Structure 1
Amino acid sequence: MRTGAAPVSRRALRAVRSSREMRKLIAAGMVLVALLAGGCSYGSVGTENLTGVNGNPGGSTPVTQPSTNTALFHPAAGVLPYPTDLYFAGSTDGTLNIQPANALMPNQAAVNALDGFSTTAVIRERFGGALNPASFTAASIIIVPVTTDNLTKATTGVLAAPLTLGTDFSAGLGQEALVGNTILEIKPLHPLLPSTCLSGGMFLGPNCATGTGYLVFLMDGITDFSGNHAVPDTDYASIKAALPSCAAISDATLHGICQLTGAHMLIAQGLGLNPAHIVLSFSFTTESTVDTLALISATATAQTITVHPTGLTTAAIPGLGLKGHADLYVGVLNVPYYSSKTAPLTDYWHAPPFPLDTTSTFVTRFNPLPVPTATLQIPVLVSVPNAASAFGAVSPAAGWPLLIFQHGLTRNREDMFAVADSFADAGFVVVAVDLPLHGITKQSDPLYATGANPLYAGLGLPASGSIERTFDLSTVPGVIDPSGSHFINLTSLLTERDNLREGAADLITLARSLPHLSLGAAGSINPLSIHYLGHSLGGIVGGTLMGVLRPAEVGTATLANPGGELAQLLRDSPTFAPLIDAGLAAQGLLPGTTLYEQFFRDAQTVIDAGDPINFIALATGNHPIHLIQVVGSAPPPPALVCLAQPTPPGCPDQVVPNSATQRLILAGGLTQVHPPGAAGTTALHVYVNFTGGVHGSILDPTSSPAATTEMQTEAIFFAATSGTQLPVSALAPVQ
């Protein structure tokens, strides 16, 4: 999917949403409601079961099984694999409808706002007894990409050959307390294909008849440690025996599931699988991940961006010891704001009311564009090369090349000072804005954006209050909460997802507006030479941004210390994990329990649509990408030693773990570059491993001046050569 198609008008989208055909797309009488509602109504059996005996959202204590090697499947008791499209039963707007409320699923309400299942989270099935993981082979676990009917959720066709174990997915034992080795856990090794209602960047509307799904076959080659082969549960055995007519099954729920399973068996036969050896089959539809931001990118328009000089240079910034090679400008940009200014910690994006169910405003692939809640005036910070810079103060004839800089979590736009002088010496203007819920919080800061600040005079700021992106939120009366302290929001995962998407949406508007930026006597911008540098969270949001921006709008991107699969990133981060685990423990979610595992599984499912893991392949398809990570020495110091502050030399990144960065590298197909670097005439998609430095070294030379110099030099050359060259010094602390 590319986003270079002609823009889609909002009027056209509204017309499609209200069409009679759209009402047919997710019909109130969808087949699954009739077939499965009865089965889901029994899920309350397991609502208070907190021991994790099966690991399923609607689970309960399993009924007596004929053997310990049974693949558990008992819909009336809510014992099902996860994910499964059976959980769409009763939906009126195309979203999941997992019912009733279940204490084993802390994020159930958020998951029920989605139009499918995760492209990255684990897939699980429980067996009646302990499993032998050596039996998890390519012949015993088969996963087939399929199309699914958006109305019935039936599998309607095969998209591609079965996935490859070890390349596309791994299979192992799910580790949870009290269940032993009874859970088969399948983990995608790169994102699964998402569902979409876009074609060539255009919204299909009522013509969006199918989703993308995966059909899982578990075979009797799965064994326990005694070599006993897996067998189907009673209900699944009855379903197979009743095929193809299903006439022998009188129970309405199982009869409906039997019909869906019949489609599975047709595909199995086409693959040469013997149905007699299948102990369980189930299918699930993936959620849409790209649609909403792709359409925002297709419909966003340039806004007025106004800046004026402050009379300050970078040398005026206290405590940084900068050389003053760039003049500083402040300004404002108006952006459409889709989140809530009045409830920024609990609300999330909303679409117009869905035609079939007007109580639903969930943003899905069937209703993909959110409604702006406000036009938000946000502060802009700009640095411009001056006469003290190596480049000089005279703009190139085509205009200044420009770098968009995006800061990390809990930081603010002033982090751009750390790269302003080096980019000024290379002849770049640098522009920075704050991520949502970030900004300057010290009212004494000379760049605090308020109408009372003379530096902002004439820019149209309100007479009272500030326009900082933090909204000056205050937990302690009279003290503004630290920048970004509310961005990671595990109590409202839809809000966190949309904080990520809002950051990308704001940058789309900024990128589209920058060609019109006037610097007065200092010159103008070269609209064909706009580039991106994001650090940490700025690199994370940048990976998403570059997946939906057209190549001509922003040329290259350097992503410094980013990561993918953000729920797992937080879980593995030496910095964040202890804080998160303590907060979850206070709510009764302890590591190793069903509650804990399902919290993170479902958190990733919700966040997927804002996670760069689902955009980085698109980004590398459209733009040259340069990624930086700090891997430390080989071997690194002990983990406990690396927890010290400041981070000792030789330690890997202690904020974004290397595992999270590697996932992004793998999904993006990036190639490692070693000294002396890479050069050519075509776009590079590369990464560099640093053995020296720390998470923040691209901005702060304290840990390793050599690492900071190398990181910034790489970013400059990459942008200056339009992503075709990346010199890497043999003297730098790199692999």
Structure 2
Amino acid sequence: MKKLLLPLAVSAALAGCGGGETLEDVKQDTKPVTPVASVKFDPSNGVISVPNDILFSGTQDGTLNIPGELDGDSKPLLSRAGYADPSLALGGLDGWSTQMPYQIGLNTPTGVTIDAATVAAPGAVRIFEVVMGDDAQTEACQNLSPALACRVVSELTFGPTGDFVSQLSEDGQNINVIPVKPFKSNTTYITVLTSNIKDTIDGGRSLTPSSTYTLLRQEAPLVTDAQKSLQAVIRSYEQALVSSESIGADEIVYTAAMTTQATGPVVGTIKQLLASTFGTAKQPVVAVPDQDFMSVADKFTDLGLAAALPPELLQAAGGIRYLTGNIQLPQYLSLPKNGEDAALADTYWQALCDNGVAVAAAKAQAGGQLPEPEAGTVDAQCNALSGGQLRDLGIDAQKFVSKYNVIPKEQWIANVPVQITFPLSEAPETGYPVVIMQHGITSKKEDMLSLTLALSQAGFATVAIDHPMHGERGIDVDGDGVDEFNATTKSVLHYMNLQSLLVARDNLRQSTADLLALRFGLNAINAFSQVPLNFNTNDVSFVGQSLGSVVAPSFIAHANLPIENELLKAAEPLFKVGPAALSSGGAGIANFLVESASFGPVVKTAVVQGASDLAVSKKFVSYLQEGAVADCGTFAGSASAFAACAYNTFVANLEAEGDLASIAAINGTVDQFAYASQTVLDTADPLNYAPLVRAVNTPMYMSVVVGGEGENKGDQVIPASTLPRNPLGGSTPLAALMGLETATESKQSTDGTAGRYVVNFSQGHHSSMLTPSFDARTGGTAQGHAQATAEMQRQVATYLASKGLILPITDTTVIAK
């Protein structure tokens, strides 16, 4: 991992420095600033807090323009692999995070302290949803530049039960803004700091704007076009706010706009691309070749698991048939060029076409007439799929997939093995209902077989595939029969790629796309099976474990959302998914990875190693090469366990030495990484699809191991909550945003309406839905863990079989109160 660049600096070009009098020159003529606290804001010297839409300045494709991306002529400086840097990865995004807390930096003179109580009070920080210029839905805004604020829509509610809270950072140098509800996607907000924020001197003096901001908000004699443009932007923010009569001009100390990312259009486009193959040779189908029946018990024997299973379970597994099939799935991730981990850096999704921003700019520059496309392009396809908004004219060098470029390029077709089970009992007249099962990270589809007994007893057939770069879908670059890339057998970082966050994001999106194609392909399983099958493909449910639960909200929302294209409406029912059961999932992926007892030290190890500009990083690398071998040698067989031991021991040594400065440097670097990584991962994060799952009213059950009294610690992989880092991270916030009711006793519908529930377990561990084994990291008892597994499986099977009408809770000793 390359060193972090956050806090982000803005290039001088944003303020138009160079040529004539600069903004800095103008400031020299102003009176000395009164020594009171002010907001850090000086773009000409690279001082700006993020998120801030000023970083869209100079964009050629509607994505953020991060310093270091482009040269002075707005031409790319970076190869695709160059975006592996966590900060530069933000340059591939069409907006900011919907959920991450953010900071606004302060200048506090010596002896001046901000009154924390004033920062945490209502009215100190205010946030407004706004409509920007060039908005087609608002006539008065259509002719304004999209960089200018047009009108206020509404003000967000302050407070722990509202939309956000604010607080002073521990060091007193920043104001923290913390969402307690996610921002809407593809929406612009203006954050305002007000004069209600005061210091502790002379009864409290108000926070002041920086001298640069003061010049920009006024009709100051600025010189260059870039300076004037930035001035127009700041003035538009304040004018929109004041004209709404929501706030007075004298109350405003600072404003910053942020536009959140568009989280759904790309995967929504993939659904339409799949639908367009309906009835053609390109339609994905689950094909089952002729084969002898074997049982799940036989498969357990093949996997070497039979000896570890209770005899009664193995006997019952003998009554479940096991088959294998395959499906051809379009892959939007490109293949690595060699077997080195660094080769994954540029495999993230690429758009098929030139983006709409570049096309519109080229059209305007050419007087409305675009050049003819060169031979060999996909211009006709881009033109047809987008109604003329997207073309392939060679004018978009980077081709980032975004809301301005929603069609990803199909890189290759994967022949993906499909695991299939069904009961020996005769199928109902309508056929066996089907459950799609999706496994967790570093796991594989075969690990879901332990759940098939409960599902088969409830009458279900099941299908399952591996996530990309898991199980049988590892990547063997050189064809020697050994995978170079496989998160199941090699490294979790091959999938959750901390070396290239855009790749990590698109691995998650590929998992969603694969599930959509699998669901679509199920419709043909009876026709394309050379073994007699009778599956009811109109009755499909879903079960996700861990990572399978993380990608589930995006999959379920997109599967059940209507198709707007009337020509493709006939395919809409072929994607439908009924009741779903999730276990050990969570939102705020970057935050729960950092807070995870299992993965957190691994993440932090990678981050600190990569922060080569920190003195403590050099010390840590030296420790890994020398002392860690002695301290953590017993974990040498597991890279993740070794990293966890090494990191925890290193930090403990710093604490023992009283080296608080190094610990603060580590925490600050991890915070920067968490902000950058969550922002990049946002379009794949389940938090952004939870409201859609609620909107389509899919029946949903979720189990969460929260722990209980004594030694019961709860899930050690994905925590129930990531407080205080992020109130929106973890399992519990995801359940709340999906609108799930906490159930502690059995539920049964009396009106035919499916219930939507989350059940919190006091016993068990991250994988309890699949295995009754004891996990000492979680605490509790072996008996309690076994009981939790039995209770979870009973709940899942009954809930799905009853279409969400019944949730049995029979063993209350493992249910958290």
Same-fold call, TM cutoff 0.5:
yes
Paired residues of 1:142 and 1:217 also in contact (CA < 8 A) = yes
Equivalent residue runs for 1:417-436 within 5 Å: 417-436=449-468
After TM superposition, give the deviation of residue 110 of structure 1 in Å. 0.8
* Letter in structure 2 aligned against 1:630: V
Within the candidate set 539, 555, 567, 2:578 is matched to: 555
Work out whether 1:170 is the aligned partner of 2:165: yes
After TM superposition, give the deviation of residue 152 of structure 1 in Å. 3.2
After TM superposition, give the deviation of residue 529 of structure 1 in Å. 1.2
Equivalent residue runs for 1:646-661 within 5 Å: 650-659=712-721, 660-661=730-731
Work out whether 1:366 is the aligned partner of 2:396: no
When residues 162 and 374 of structure 1 are mapped into structure 2, their CA distance, relative to the original with a 3 A threshold, is same
DSSP 3-state at the match of 1:117: coil
Q: C-alpha distance in 1, partners of 2:225/2:485?
A: 55
Q: C-alpha distance in 2, partners of 1:325/1:592?
A: 58
Work out whether 1:272 is the aligned partner of 2:246: yes
Work out whether 1:145 is the aligned partner of 2:129: yes
Residue 23 (structure 2) aligns with: none
Residue 708 (structure 2) aligns with: 633
Q: Identify which range, 86-95 or 312-321, moves more after superposition.
A: 312-321
Structure 1: state its 5+ residue gaps. Answer: 1-34, 43-62, 196-211, 387-392, 442-447, 451-463, 638-649
Equivalent residue runs for 1:198-597 within 5 Å: 212-226=187-201, 227-240=204-217, 242=218, 246=219, 248-250=221-223, 252-269=225-242, 270-301=244-275, 302-308=283-289, 309-316=291-298, 317-318=300-301, 319-320=305-306, 321=309, 322=314, 323=316, 324-343=318-337, 345-346=344-345, 347-354=347-354, 356=358, 357-386=395-424, 393-440=425-472, 472-473=483-484, 481-482=489-490, 484=492, 486-518=494-526, 522-550=532-560, 552=573, 553-588=576-611, 592-593=664-665, 594-597=668-671
When residues 39 and 554 of structure 1 are mapped into structure 2, their CA distance, relative to the original with a 3 A threshold, is same
Per-residue CA distance 1:85-139 (angstroms, 9 max, x = gap): 1111111111110213799x95222100111111112222111124333112221
Q: C-alpha distance in 2, partners of 1:480/1:501?
A: 18
DSSP 3-state at the match of 1:307: coil
When residues 514 and 655 of structure 1 are mapped into structure 2, their CA distance, relative to the original with a 3 A threshold, is same
Paired residues of 1:40 and 1:78 also in contact (CA < 8 A) = no
Residue 99 (structure 1) aligns with: 67
Q: C-alpha distance in 2, partners of 1:361/1:504?
A: 21
DSSP 3-state at the match of 2:234: helix
Paired residues of 1:543 and 1:559 also in contact (CA < 8 A) = no
After TM superposition, give the deviation of residue 340 of structure 1 in Å. 1.4
When residues 480 and 142 of structure 1 are mapped into structure 2, their CA distance, relative to the original with a 3 A threshold, is closer
Q: C-alpha distance in 2, partners of 1:702/1:362?
A: 45
Q: C-alpha distance in 2, partners of 1:612/1:234?
A: 41
* Letter in structure 2 aligned against 1:237: T
Q: C-alpha distance in 2, partners of 1:214/1:493?
A: 25
Q: C-alpha distance in 2, partners of 1:352/1:728?
A: 50
Q: C-alpha distance in 1, partners of 2:17/2:534?
A: 64
DSSP 3-state at the match of 2:551: helix
Paired residues of 2:12 and 2:45 also in contact (CA < 8 A) = no
* Letter in structure 2 aligned against 1:674: T
Paired residues of 1:395 and 1:522 also in contact (CA < 8 A) = no
Q: C-alpha distance in 2, partners of 1:603/1:250?
A: 38
Residue 67 (structure 1) aligns with: 35
* Letter in structure 2 aligned against 1:734: I
Residue 55 (structure 1) aligns with: none
* Letter in structure 1 aligned against 2:434: L
Q: Identify which range, 695-704 or 295-304, moves more after superposition.
A: 295-304
Per-residue CA distance 1:661-707 (angstroms, 9 max, x = gap): 12212322222111123434223222110011111100001232211
Which structure has more helix as a fraction of its residues? 2
After TM superposition, give the deviation of residue 70 of structure 1 in Å. 0.8
Q: C-alpha distance in 1, partners of 2:485/2:742?
A: 44
* Letter in structure 2 aligned against 1:707: A
After TM superposition, give the deviation of residue 722 of structure 1 in Å. 1.7
Paired residues of 2:549 and 2:582 also in contact (CA < 8 A) = yes
Paired residues of 1:437 and 1:484 also in contact (CA < 8 A) = no
Q: C-alpha distance in 1, partners of 2:607/2:156?
A: 37
When residues 281 and 379 of structure 1 are mapped into structure 2, their CA distance, relative to the original with a 3 A threshold, is same
Q: Which runs of 4+ in 1 moved over 6 A?
A: none
Number of residue-to-residue matches in the alignment: 611
DSSP 3-state at the match of 2:604: helix
Q: C-alpha distance in 1, partners of 2:760/2:407?
A: 38
When residues 374 and 397 of structure 1 are mapped into structure 2, their CA distance, relative to the original with a 3 A threshold, is same
DSSP 3-state at the match of 1:96: coil
Work out whether 1:90 is the aligned partner of 2:58: yes
Q: C-alpha distance in 1, partners of 2:411/2:125?
A: 47
Work out whether 1:726 is the aligned partner of 2:707: no
After TM superposition, give the deviation of residue 327 of structure 1 in Å. 0.7
DSSP 3-state at the match of 1:185: strand
Within the candidate set 675, 678, 688, 2:745 is matched to: 675
Q: C-alpha distance in 1, partners of 2:68/2:715?
A: 42
Q: CA RMSD in A?
A: 2.8
Residue 642 (structure 2) aligns with: none
When residues 483 and 250 of structure 1 are mapped into structure 2, their CA distance, relative to the original with a 3 A threshold, is closer
Q: C-alpha distance in 2, partners of 1:310/1:580?
A: 45
After TM superposition, give the deviation of residue 384 of structure 1 in Å. 1.0
Q: C-alpha distance in 2, partners of 1:546/1:181?
A: 43
| TM-score, length of structure 2 as denominator length | 0.71
Per-residue CA distance 1:274-297 (angstroms, 9 max, x = gap): 111211011111111111111212
Paired residues of 2:36 and 2:208 also in contact (CA < 8 A) = no
Q: C-alpha distance in 2, partners of 1:253/1:139?
A: 32
Per-residue CA distance 1:687-730 (angstroms, 9 max, x = gap): 11001111110000123221111111111122112223222225
Q: C-alpha distance in 2, partners of 1:708/1:490?
A: 32
Structure 2: state its 5+ residue gaps. Answer: 1-10, 19-30, 71-81, 135-144, 276-282, 338-342, 359-394, 562-572, 618-662, 722-729, 775-784
Q: C-alpha distance in 2, partners of 1:219/1:181?
A: 17
DSSP 3-state at the match of 1:683: coil
Q: C-alpha distance in 2, partners of 1:380/1:449?
A: 17
Q: C-alpha distance in 2, partners of 1:399/1:65?
A: 78
Per-residue CA distance 1:426-454 (angstroms, 9 max, x = gap): 1100111000100149xxxxxx999xxxx
* Letter in structure 2 aligned against 1:213: T
Paired residues of 1:543 and 1:612 also in contact (CA < 8 A) = yes
Paired residues of 1:40 and 1:75 also in contact (CA < 8 A) = no
Equivalent residue runs for 1:126-137 within 5 Å: 126-129=105-108, 130-136=113-119, 137=121
Q: C-alpha distance in 1, partners of 2:693/2:169?
A: 33
When residues 251 and 595 of structure 1 are mapped into structure 2, their CA distance, relative to the original with a 3 A threshold, is farther
Q: C-alpha distance in 2, partners of 1:483/1:414?
A: 18
DSSP 3-state at the match of 1:722: coil
Per-residue CA distance 1:572-616 (angstroms, 9 max, x = gap): 000011111112111227764454322210111110011111111
